[in-house]
Amino acid sequence: MAIRTVIEPFRIKSIEAIRRSTPQQRRQFIEEAGYNLFLVPAEAIMIDLLTDSGTSAMSTEQWAAMMQGDESYAGSPSFARFRDSVQGIFGFRHVIPTHQGRAAERILFTVMCKKGDVVPNNTHFDTTRANCEFVGAQALDLPVCEAKQPARALPFKGNMDTVQLAELIRRVGAKQIPLVMLTITNNSAGGQPVSMENIRAVKEICKKHGIPLYIDACRFAENAYLIKLREPGYADKSPREIAREMFSHADGCTMSAKKDGLANIGGFLCTNDNLLAQQERDLLILTEGFPTYGGLCGRDLEAIAVGLNEVLEEDYLNYRITSTAFLGNHIAAEGVPIVQPPGGHAIYLDARAFLPHIPVAQFPGVALTVELYLEGGIRSVEVGTLMFGEHATMDLVRLAIPRRVYTQSHIEYVVEVILDVWRRREQIRGYEIIHQAPFLRHFTARLKPLNE
Ligand SMILES: Cc1ncc(COP(=O)(O)O)c(C=O)c1O
């Protein structure tokens, strides 16, 4: 019989100690941090699931490649290796390095958008939205309606609503829409994938109206693998072939290499348009650096060049998706409400359903993040009323899993901690804000627990 256990497809050569803490110490840390996990020092965290961005463990191949980093200001061979690696997967004519994803977004929107324009996306990530709005354009989310129904287990809840897209173009006119974006996977809507069928359908509409399609490619490999697992006709294709096909439908992309680049910093912007590329490079020189390094060291370019290929290895993706699903399925089996089905990079707990006795105005998501920390030193992030104020349609708690960092027993530990909190959920109380900043308040807000 074939062995079914999915193992981590790597051995560990260098380790980083996990600092243990007692519940009493954690109570003190969280009180001092105003019950905001962003304000807790990393040394006081045992399992850090705050983000999967920039937190990956690099391979020996990546570290070795970094030694080849050529730090020449112009024309570095490290750039050539980076560009070739990106083009080999993404296939775009122009590759512009940036220091991270949001820098690519800023350049793209500055060059392509003007005041009054509308940019539709399945769901804009918060930096994408902010950069779009910063140039005076309107960032519009057009997710399929299932995206807002956490309990429904459908394969491609990251899709864009194409009926609404067509209707929007009819209403405002193609001239007002300089580009359409698709975020794969759809981070702000539970890390759910976008199907190839949806990418094709969106492209078809864009093509009809002469509007370019750009992909926010942060988690392109996880999206490709979920297509392989869930979309008819792709089971026998490799993740690389699927990725090539996804990007063949687009005119360009933005990328944060801190996710599926398996690097700790970096990003890029791609386009097939010669004129836009020229304008983008001019702007790049102004704020990021010369077009052969774009704010990155030669050694960062090398790490990304290798990481982009490693992330497409099937053994890696199988382990990645299986490990995330293990966490989601084990807690869901005990009744814990999560965004279904488990996506690629994170599991999202539905805090409103987890703590129905806590009114939305008393931040059920914050209450849950605090309890996971007190119980087991786990850092998660609230994606709900604290983050979005009255615009929040859900109160989620995201457990983002860094790539190649935690082992199966770490994940089992997380399952145990969540289930312990689940069993005593009725005793958990809500919170009120005692200090908040005028914008992006979730990063620095201080709160205090409410008594009965
Ligand atoms: C979907 C998506 N787009 C863009 C970004 C921005 O990337 P960066 O943090 O590298 O600026 C992120 C980061 O989390 C993201 O998840």
Burial of 230 (0-12, 13-18, 19+ CB in 10 A): middle
Angle at the Cα of 39 (from 33 to 45), degrees rounded to 5?
95
Q: Is any atom of ligand 1 closer than 6 Å to the C-beta of 53? A: yes
438: Cβ contacts below 8 Å, ≥ 6 apart: none
CA distance 375 to 23: 7
pLDDT of residue 220: 98
CA distance 90 to 220: 10
Q: Is any atom of ligand 1 closer than 6 Å to the C-beta of 322? A: no
Q: Is any atom of ligand 1 closer than 6 Å to the C-beta of 267? A: yes
Burial of 176 (0-12, 13-18, 19+ CB in 10 A): middle
- 331-350 burial, b if ≥16 CB within 10 A, otherwise e? bbeeebbbbbbbbbbbbbbb
Three-state DSSP class for residue 361: helix
| Distance between Cα 59 and ligand 1 center (Å) | 22
Bridge partner list, 446: 435
For every residue of 191-255, DSSP letters joined together read TB---HHHHHHHHHHHHHHT--EEEE-TTHHHHHHHHHHHSTT-TTS-HHHHHHHHHHT-SEEEE
Which of 108, 124, 127 is the best mutation target for the ligand 1 pocket, counting ligand atoms within 8 Å of the beta carbon and taking the most? Answer: 127
Which ligand 1 atom lies nearest to the CA of residue 257? 10
Q: Is any atom of ligand 1 closer than 6 Å to the C-beta of 258? A: yes
Q: Is any atom of ligand 1 closer than 6 Å to the C-beta of 256? A: yes
pLDDT of residue 438: 85
Tens digits of residue pLDDT in 76-103: 999 999 999 999 999 999 999 999 999 9
User: Which segments of the chain have a pLDDT < 50?
Assistant: none
Burial of 91 (0-12, 13-18, 19+ CB in 10 A): middle
CA distance 260 to 420: 32
| Distance between Cα 226 and ligand 1 center (Å) | 20
Percent helix, strand and coil across the chain, each to the nearest 5: 45, 15, 40
Three-state DSSP class for residue 435: strand
Query: To 10 degrees, what angle do helices 101-112 and 126-134 make?
Result: 30
Q: Whose CA is nearest to atom 7 of ligand 1?
A: 101
Half-sphere exposure of 371 (CA within 13 A, CB side): 26
Both tokens of 52, joined, read 């999967």
Q: Is any atom of ligand 1 closer than 6 Å to the C-beta of 223? A: no
Q: Is any atom of ligand 1 closer than 6 Å to the C-beta of 101? A: yes
CA distance 84 to 201: 29
Task: Please name which of 330, 300, 257 lies closest in space to residue 55, comparing C-alpha atoms.
Answer: 257
CA distance 58 to 421: 33
Both tokens of 304, joined, read 């990304």
Burial of 283 (0-12, 13-18, 19+ CB in 10 A): middle
275: Cβ contacts below 8 Å, ≥ 6 apart: none
